[in-house]
């Protein structure tokens, strides 16, 4: 079962790293908080999945510790998003709606594929498999919100849809971090 998780996590890490470059470039080009948050999340997901690959070879207690560290890593995009949102408050210009929605649609496709790959192995590897799956699942939800933000921005020409979605992504990641940390704590308690 761990071999299936290893293969899944390796493919997901590569997909996340590839789309990070695309989304980060567009985010900077159009000044989008939500795309910036999601692109940093792609980089974080690639890092998490690479760390999971390494940790799968370790003992169960060490994997539980790594899962707790991963919970902290999941929070990093939220902090980057708050910084970008602060920048946007200083210069409230809405991002270009069409590139926002199209880039969000591309991210949705990548994350949906990643979630499909990981759903079958989410219970393998304990909290590590759960961390990989929750990251992908949350990203699918975030990308739907980004597409909607692009459509609403096109209609209203307001900065608020992008800002609210970016901050929503930060909150979603915080919830996933709590879930992963809790699962890792239960694993640690079960081994004592």
* Sign of the torsion formed by the C-alpha atoms of 44, 45, 51 and 55: positive
pLDDT of residue 63: 72
pLDDT of residue 187: 65
**Any residues with CB less than 8 A from the CB of 95 and at least 6 apart, and which?**
30, 31, 32, 33, 35, 150, 153, 159, 162
Question: Tokens in use for 76?
Answer: 């990093």
Q: Minimal CA–CA distance to 142: which of 96, 98, 107?
A: 107
pLDDT of residue 153: 93
pLDDT of residue 75: 77
Query: How many helices, marked H, and strands, marked E, lie in the chain?
Result: 6, 0
Tens-level pLDDT at each residue, the chain (192 residues): 678 888 999 999 999 999 999 999 999 999 998 898 888 888 888 888 888 888 777 777 777 777 777 777 777 777 777 887 888 888 888 999 999 999 999 999 999 999 999 888 877 666 777 777 877 888 898 899 999 999 999 999 999 999 998 888 878 777 777 877 787 777 666 655
Tell me the fold of 2-191. Alpha-lytic protease prodomain-like (1.20.1510)
Task: Record the pTM.
Answer: 0.79
The domain segmentation of the chain, as residue ranges, is: 2-191
- Do 100 and 34 form a contact (C-beta atoms < 8 A)? yes
Q: Minimal CA–CA distance to 26: which of 18, 34, 17, 35?
A: 35
pLDDT of residue 125: 62
pLDDT of residue 113: 96
- Measure the CA–CA gap between 64 and 126, rounded to whole angstroms: 8
């Amino acid at each position: 079962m761990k071999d299936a998780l290893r293969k899944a996590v390796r493919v997901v890490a590569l997909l996340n790293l590839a789309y990070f470059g695309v989304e980060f470039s567009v985010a900077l080009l159009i000044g989008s908080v939500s795309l910036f948050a999601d692109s940093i999340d792609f980089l974080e997901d690639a890092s998490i999945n690479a760390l999971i690959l390494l940790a799968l070879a370790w003992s169960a207690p060490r994997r539980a510790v790594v899962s707790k560290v991963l919970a902290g890593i999941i929070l990093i995009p939220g902090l980057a998003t708050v910084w970008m949102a602060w920048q946007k408050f200083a210069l409230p210009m809405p991002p270009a709606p069409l590139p926002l929605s199209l880039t969000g649609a591309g991210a949705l496709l990548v994350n949906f594929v990643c979630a499909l790959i990981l759903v079958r192995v989410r219970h393998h590897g304990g909290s590590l498999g759960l961390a990989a799956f929750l990251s992908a699942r949350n990203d699918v939800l975030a990308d739907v919100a980004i597409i909607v933000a692009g459509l609403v921005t096109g209609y209203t020409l307001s900065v608020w849809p992008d800002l609210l979605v970016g901050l929503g992504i930060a909150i979603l990641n915080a919830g996933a971090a709590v879930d992963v940390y809790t699962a890792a704590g239960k694993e640690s308690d079960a081994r004592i």
